Structure 1
Amino acid sequence: HKHWLAGGAKKAKPLDAGSHWFQPGGQAHDDQCVGAEPCILFIVSDGKFDFTADPKAKAPKAGKYKLSARKALKWTPLDPAQPDGMKMAVVHGDPKAGAFGMLLELPPGANAGLHSHTGDYHAVILAGAPAHWLPHEQGEGEAVAPGTYWWQPGGYDHGDRCTGDAPCVAFVWETAAMDFIPAGTKPAAAPAE
């Protein structure tokens, strides 16, 4: 996939799966799917989605445009005690303060077990063969393919694991600050002010 601001086609380079960009509203830009496989985009819009094609659009001011190639993202372990475990790269927002977007990578064989989060989240699989399941389902879910999407409501137990021999990568958009509540436990009480 290539993404560029109007007038920048000559400088556009193919992006790896898992790349991210922030595109301010009203800013002319272009996208092109390159390669043999379909390009899968997960778009989060905080307003009306307006798709107005204009091949003659002029280059705009850059504004707050941000493009982050996957190789340039800062990956950090979800659990510092397990540096080779699950990792995340925050691409939008602050996971300690509220809604945020991240790329999440699970190594082959990783299993988060049943757990919940306070807020809802949306996920799109970018690579690998992860499984997502609910407590009433038999086993620990079937592997899903890249391009699979799910919405997980907050407060409900679910499980996630990475099957196969390759890492599993997802784009995740959470609606609240990040937390992880193992099944059978209650979330910690908010500190008194």
Structure 2
Amino acid sequence: MFKSALKAISAATLIALSTAAFAGGDEDHMTQLKDIEWTQFGNTPLHLSVLWGDRETGPYGMYLKIPGGFHVGEHGHTNTYYAVTIQGQWEHTRAGKKEVLPVGSFVMQPGEEYHDDACVGPKDCILLVVQNGKGDVLLPQ
């Protein structure tokens, strides 16, 4: 019971954050997931779609698509992010703790903390990611 209440509070927090960021925009948007326009992230197999805001400066919200079976590798970000699994089985590892996060799961990943991600199973993972600052990737030395 407590876990489901905590998940509901976490999801409500992300929705409140994303609504606040979206409210700053001046356009109405309604887009079905099947109509999302994806952009390849560098020379990786990852794809993203910025839904609102500016990823270069923040705040922003985006979908991140990780191919099924792909392991991202250890990395970090300058700013804390909040994410919800929209599709697939996202595996997130932080401080040595690995957890598979099915659809509806929530993560608050602190900034400047290295972690690892993978999409386990054959289906692509899609995550809703929200950051109040710029979006970047930090690699271990």
Task: Give the TM-score taking structure 1 as reference length.
Answer: 0.59
Looking at structure 1, the residues matched to 112 and 136 of structure 2 have their Cα atoms a distance apart, in angstroms, of 11
How much has 1:46 moved relative to structure 2?
2.4
Looking at structure 2, the residues matched to 86 and 110 of structure 1 have their Cα atoms a distance apart, in angstroms, of 9
Which residue in 2 is equivalent to 1:148? 105
Given the alignment of the two structures, is residue 179 of structure 1 paired with residue 136 of structure 2, yes or no? yes
Matched residues, number: 124
Looking at structure 2, the residues matched to 107 and 64 of structure 1 have their Cα atoms a distance apart, in angstroms, of 31
Given the alignment of the two structures, is residue 131 of structure 1 paired with residue 88 of structure 2, yes or no? no
Q: CA-to-partner distance for each residue in 1:102-159, whole Å, 9 max, x for gaps?
A: 001100121121111011100000111110011433xxx2322100001011111111
SS in 2 for 1:46: helix
**Seq. identity, %:** 27
SS in 2 for 1:96: coil
Q: CA-to-partner distance for each residue in 1:10-29, whole Å, 9 max, x for gaps?
A: xxxxxxxxxxxxxxxxxxxx
How much has 1:96 moved relative to structure 2?
1.1
Unaligned runs of 5+ in 1: 1-39, 48-62, 185-193
Unaligned runs of 5+ in 2: 1-10
Whichever structure has more helix as a proportion of its residues is 2
Which structure exhibits the higher relative contact order, with contacts defined as CA atoms closer than 8 Å and separated by 6 or more residues? Answer: 2
Q: Which runs of 4+ in 1 moved over 3 A?
A: none
RMSD across aligned C-alpha pairs, in angstroms? 2.0
Which residue in 2 is equivalent to 1:106? 66
Greater gyration radius? 1
